[in-house]
Structure 1
Amino acid sequence: MARPRTDSAPDLTRPVDLTAGAITRLACPPDKDQAFLRDAKAPGLRVRVTAAGAKSFVFEAKLDRKTIRRTIGDVRAWSIDDARVEANRLRVTLDGGIDPRELEREQAAAKARREVERAAKALIVAEVWPLYLAEGKPKRRDAWKPGYLADLQLMASEGGKPKKRGEGFTRQGPLYPLLALPLGQVNEDVLKAWFDREAKAGRHQAARALMMFRGFLRWCSTRPEYRALADRDAGRASAILESLPTNTHRTDALEAAQVPGWWVGVEQLGNRTSSAYLRALLLTGARREELAALTWANVDFKWRKLTLADKIDATRTIPLTPYLSQMLAALPRTNSFVFASSSKSGRIADTRASHAKALKSAAISGLTIHGLRRSFSLLGERAGAPAGAIAQVMGHKPSATAEGYRPRTIDDLRPFLEQIEAYVLEQAGVKFDSAAPRKLRAVA
């Protein structure tokens, strides 16, 4: 039998001892899309050639009576010896009852998981924080309260920007150092070290920042993509809680004898909007943000009602009493807010400076803005209003009271709120005729 010519194409019908020359001469028959040249030394090793002339090493074998085929690599990248070693490895895997293709898929999936895990571990707080501000609204709320959202942004601010008021630059927010940390590395030890550093500048500010960050960690723990990274209880470690300042419950409120001096001091403020706002807080018992966000659209002068944003429910509606109605009607309508200002938000933001002036003129110390809310409750009791009616006007969470809590209609609430207003005006020395609302004056 004559030996094949060295320049002829190899015989595809029988295994051959693969050589570089044989692979070079290999060609795809004209009537086929691809063809295979079998290796005589490594069972299962083939060289595939396509109609376009591309050549690669492949492994081919039978599994459960079905042909399986796996590409090893391009003949230009793989040597014949390396291809035989890989084919033998795949044969051993197959003899063990494992499909090499399935094994490869599992290895690829495992690699993808490791990549995801590495990426997740590298995820820093700064990448998640903006999403928290955008989507981390409180329960039963459509959005953050503007004031609290502004505080969150300020707490995490970079600082170093020119102050809007006065000279100098803004300070870095206490949460800013945490933004650079990988989320998965924020544990109780990290938070303890951070809190101790921030507490040197101000313990109460650091404690408030910690409470905010704990809210962020709780939110992360509810998100499937961050749950495995966020340590929900990191901010509640005993070592941190022991370092927190004592949470003293404020009890400041106006005494009846202090009402006249306070009222006169507030009335004499140069800022009429602040003056009206502070008096409205005392006459309604509303929270400062609830009243600051009041818009003209939610003041019903015809049916004498006010609709306020509420901490418990979305909104609550209370009666609009005679004196308060006249005071609000006298305010200028410069935008949609009742207590408007030239600030970026368009509404009154911080009246502590104005309130401090009024307190100084009245020789009253220690009364906070929230103390006016407590003052409404105490003065309401002295006026003889039922506890349930006072609680409903103030927007307290419904609970059992001595009288048995039951929501009242606006008309049922109106006499009690007018009774409270009349009592406060009487203590303040204000002569007010509800039948002639334009005539009112404070008497010494």
Structure 2
Amino acid sequence: MTATTNRVRLTVGRVSSFTCPPEKSQAFLWDTDVPALMLRATPTGRKTYAFESRLFGKTLRIGIGSVETWTLEQAREQARSYSVLVDKGQDPRELERQQKAQQEAQRQQAKAKALTVGDVWPLYLDNGRPKRREAWKPRYLADLHAMVSAGGEPKKRGAGLTRPGPLYPLLALPLSGVTEDALKLWFDREAKIGKHQAARALMMFRGFLRWCASQPEYRALVDREAGQAPAILQNLPATTRRTDALEAAQVAGWWSGVEQLSNYAASAYLRALLLTGARREEMAALRWVDVDLRWRKLTLADKVEDSRTIPLTPYLHHLIASLPKRGEYVFASTGKEGRIVDVRSSHAKALQSAAIEHLTFHGLRRSFSLLGEAAGAPAGAIAQVMGHKPSATAEGYRPRSMDALRPFLERIEEHILEQAGVQFDATTEPGKLRAVS
């Protein structure tokens, strides 16, 4: 490639009249005032200013810009500034790259500081699942969504609209603005509405902060310990461990009250909770495909693992077989879910009938454990049936096979039925415990 070069004092007129000969690929006109400044023209008529010098023995050329964009004096000034840097042994291109990188870093930093809790919360729900788990448990995930709901929806029970979730006010807060003072102000306000609900929301939000602190892009923006402020912790409600459970003398009254419920699905469901020690949601979600009547097994959705399988004991076998098949769920309901969701009112009636002041659903689970011990079942067998996380026990925890587990669960069932005063003939044909219309 050839080039035509000239050195003159550039003027506006010379810049305007300078052209590239048709037979040339490009032509140059050098400025005498600023020797490193040149004007480049191409056959297409395009003209640009450029800087050319030598740095460390090599030619250094940097484009400045089009003559339509840069005036001659602006181009000279730019060329002078480049010359100063080259005289100091600095490459203007490298300095520009550094400046651009710094500006981009500042822009990203400003963008990051503008991130709000609401921007990051959905990412937490998608990626912040607990350790050693493939996904959130559905019920806990639903609670996380409810905590940040905007409210304003018609209430499912009663009149009026729902209020915003406890964490909703925090969504507009920048991540960098989640400080001890901000959380203290939020918690005090929410605690006036419901102290225990505010405390639970705080526990969930701590999990969010821990996840943010584990992510490189958010780590510098959050204070992981903001939720641990002493001013907040001292106002948390006392965590009293619930110990409610049926006493042996109360089992008969409770059983009778439950058996007399007009809602037979609720009656069977409550008895199934006591006979298995299952969590209320595990048993409520039991489907017919999870019931193996031939090999007498139940598969329950598990809080710790994905699922667990337990023996189907004789009385429970008859109880389930007596239920009508109205859809996919064993404990069916005409509600939107298609299954039992809330039987607190039914349980309250049974408790009132039995003159028992208070017993939670988890109290039934606790009752199973205590009655199992009284029946002489090993602690490991009881834990396995209940779906407790495996841990070292006095006997040394080891999972039992279905055949090894079955005698212990049947022994527990027999003991509960004995305490309830139930006369049960295991030879009765399944489904004949109660007639179904």
TM range (shorter): over 0.9
CA distance in 2, matches of 1:353, 1:137: 34
- Give the TM-score taking structure 1 as reference length: 0.92
Q: Aligned with 2:40: secondary structure?
A: strand
CA contact (8 A) 1:124 1:182 kept: yes
Rate the CA distance shift 1:197–1:146 in 2: closer, same or farther, 3 A: same
| Structure 1 position 286 matched with structure 2 position 278 | yes
Q: Deviation per CA, 1:121-172: give whole Å up to 9, x if none.
A: 1111112222222333223333322222222121111111222332111111
More deviation, 246-255/22-31 = 22-31
- Give the TM-score taking structure 2 as reference length: 0.93
Following superposition, the deviation at residue 425 of structure 1 comes to 1.1
Q: Which residue number in structure 1 is paired with residue 197 of structure 2?
A: 205
Q: Deviation per CA, 1:260-311: give whole Å up to 9, x if none.
A: 1111222222322222221111111112222222222221111111122223
Count of aligned pairs between the two proteins: 431
Following superposition, the deviation at residue 81 of structure 1 comes to 1.9
Following superposition, the deviation at residue 342 of structure 1 comes to 4.0
More deviation, 337-346/106-115 = 337-346
Rate the CA distance shift 1:192–1:151 in 2: closer, same or farther, 3 A: same
CA distance in 2, matches of 1:420, 1:90: 90
CA distance in 1, matches of 2:19, 2:306: 78
| Structure 1 position 160 matched with structure 2 position 155 | no
CA contact (8 A) 2:276 2:386 kept: yes
Q: Which residue number in structure 2 is paired with residue 268 of structure 1?
A: 260
CA distance in 2, matches of 1:232, 1:353: 42
CA contact (8 A) 1:432 1:439 kept: no
Match of 1:32 among 24, 34, 39: 24
CA distance in 2, matches of 1:346, 1:277: 14
Structural mapping, 1:15-414, within 5 Å: 15-414=7-406
CA contact (8 A) 1:432 1:440 kept: no
Rate the CA distance shift 1:133–1:341 in 2: closer, same or farther, 3 A: farther
CA distance in 2, matches of 1:97, 1:439: 98
AA in 2 matched with 1:254: L
Structure 2 residues not aligned, in runs of 5+:
none
CA contact (8 A) 1:433 1:440 kept: no
Q: Which runs of 4+ in 1 moved over 6 A?
A: none
AA in 1 matched with 2:208: F
Q: Which residue number in structure 2 is paired with residue 7 of structure 1?
A: none
CA distance in 2, matches of 1:433, 1:320: 16
Give % identity.
66
CA contact (8 A) 2:268 2:320 kept: yes
AA in 2 matched with 1:303: W
Alignment root-mean-square deviation, CA? 1.9
Following superposition, the deviation at residue 411 of structure 1 comes to 0.6
CA distance in 2, matches of 1:235, 1:125: 14
Following superposition, the deviation at residue 344 of structure 1 comes to 4.2
Following superposition, the deviation at residue 221 of structure 1 comes to 2.4
CA distance in 2, matches of 1:260, 1:86: 96
CA distance in 1, matches of 2:34, 2:93: 19
AA in 2 matched with 1:67: T
More deviation, 396-405/114-123 = 396-405
Following superposition, the deviation at residue 106 of structure 1 comes to 1.6
Rate the CA distance shift 1:408–1:14 in 2: closer, same or farther, 3 A: same
CA contact (8 A) 2:319 2:433 kept: no
Following superposition, the deviation at residue 400 of structure 1 comes to 2.6
Q: Which residue number in structure 2 is paired with residue 3 of structure 1?
A: none
Q: Deviation per CA, 1:236-276: give whole Å up to 9, x if none.
A: 22222112111111111001111111112222223222222
Q: Deviation per CA, 1:188-245: give whole Å up to 9, x if none.
A: 2211111011001111010001111111222222333323323222212222211211
AA in 2 matched with 1:150: A
Rate the CA distance shift 1:54–1:342 in 2: closer, same or farther, 3 A: farther
Q: Aligned with 1:347: secondary structure?
A: coil
Structure 1 residues not aligned, in runs of 5+:
1-10
Following superposition, the deviation at residue 422 of structure 1 comes to 1.0
